[in-house]
Amino acid sequence: MYIKIRSDGSLGIGRGTEGSAEITMGYGEAHMVAAALEKLAQTARSYKQEYLKTTGVGGGNKIIFERSDDGTITISGDRQTYICTEAEVRQLSEKLKHLPPVEVAPPSDYVKKITPSEGLCLVVTNGGNSIKIRLPEAAIIKTAIKSSIDSRFFDEVIAVGQRKLTVSRSSDLKWQLDGDGTTVRFTAYEIEALVAGLHNGILDVLMDVVKSFGADDVSDIRVKSQLKRIEQDAMNIFGEDKSAKGLVRDITKRAKKIIGIDELADERADKFIEMCNHVYAKMNTTYIEPLFDLFSKVYVV
């Protein structure tokens, strides 16, 4: 049996297939599937266990581990069934326990991760000039630049509290980011790489948070503890707002999609950017600064 980490961050196991005809699971589910395989190998006869997936990957929602009365072992899921030897099952279990970390695509030359200080965790740099930014700012800057790409002129001041960053496009070939008394300029040939760098930089920072929860039996408890902190801090921010409960529920639900153990790697950045855009575009402006302050703490380690 082979095991692979797919391009979307999920895992595939199979035999004699090149593509999607395999059993798929989330990267974070590996240790649970490994435990099920270990139990399967230890049971001599007449055993069946159904594992319900916690992610939406693959063509089905469960993996079935079964050993018949004559000792035959089968693993089924996603419309695939494999007959395995006991040795194969044990080997597969061990491989799932010792997977390499999911590598995040490296940020471009224009965006680099830095040691966090007062929420500043990324630096945008080009031509010898640089501006340090917080994670929510990176999300809004990326959105602004993407919005500017199909324009001839673009100018947006991103104001969060007393801090102001300006994304502008003055011609077909020239963009610039202004902030902290510094201007970082980009050409049309560099702007796509900047967008990719912002996305990958955000993902890189978020994956540091996910890795900090560990991959042991209590990692899920650590995630729940962090989600509880987000919920409580959000409640303090929204205070007496008549929609406070719904707003807190929404922020917490989004947080689970970003730092949950079983979420796909690349989707974490998309969900974080989506959340920041929602706060920046749709919420009462009085909440933007405190929420972005919160995001700069709980999504950065």
SS3 letters for 50-83? EEECCCCCCCCCEEEEEECCCCCEEEEECCEEEE
Domain range for 37 is 2-97
For residue 188, the model assigns a pLDDT of: 84
Answer yes or no: do 168 and 252 share one domain.
yes
For residue 44, the model assigns a pLDDT of: 81
pLDDT in tens, 202-211: 999 999 999 8
Report d(CA 227, CA 221) in Å as an integer: 10
pLDDT in tens, 123-179: 999 999 999 999 999 999 999 999 998 888 999 999 999 999 999 998 878 999 999
pLDDT in tens, 78-104: 899 999 999 999 999 999 999 887 665
Does 107 score more than 60 pLDDT? no
For residue 8, the model assigns a pLDDT of: 62
Query: What is the count of structural domains for the chain?
Result: 2
The model's confidence at residue 224, banded by pLDDT at 50, 70 and 90, is very high
Report d(CA 255, CA 275) in Å as an integer: 9
Q: Report in angstroms the alpha-carbon separations of 42 from 38, 73, 84, 86, 101.
A: 6, 11, 14, 9, 28
For residue 104, the model assigns a pLDDT of: 52
Answer yes or no: do 158 and 297 share one domain.
yes
In percent, how much of the chain has pLDDT > 70?
95
Q: Please state, rounded to an integer, the average pLDDT across all residues of the chain.
A: 91
CA-closest candidate to residue 48, choices 56, 58, 36:
36
Answer yes or no: do 126 and 23 share one domain.
no
Answer yes or no: do 68 and 180 share one domain.
no
Answer yes or no: do 140 and 258 share one domain.
yes
Answer yes or no: do 270 and 224 share one domain.
yes
Answer yes or no: do 132 and 49 share one domain.
no
In percent, how much of the chain has pLDDT > 90?
71
| Residue where one domain finishes, among candidates 78, 97, 116 | 97
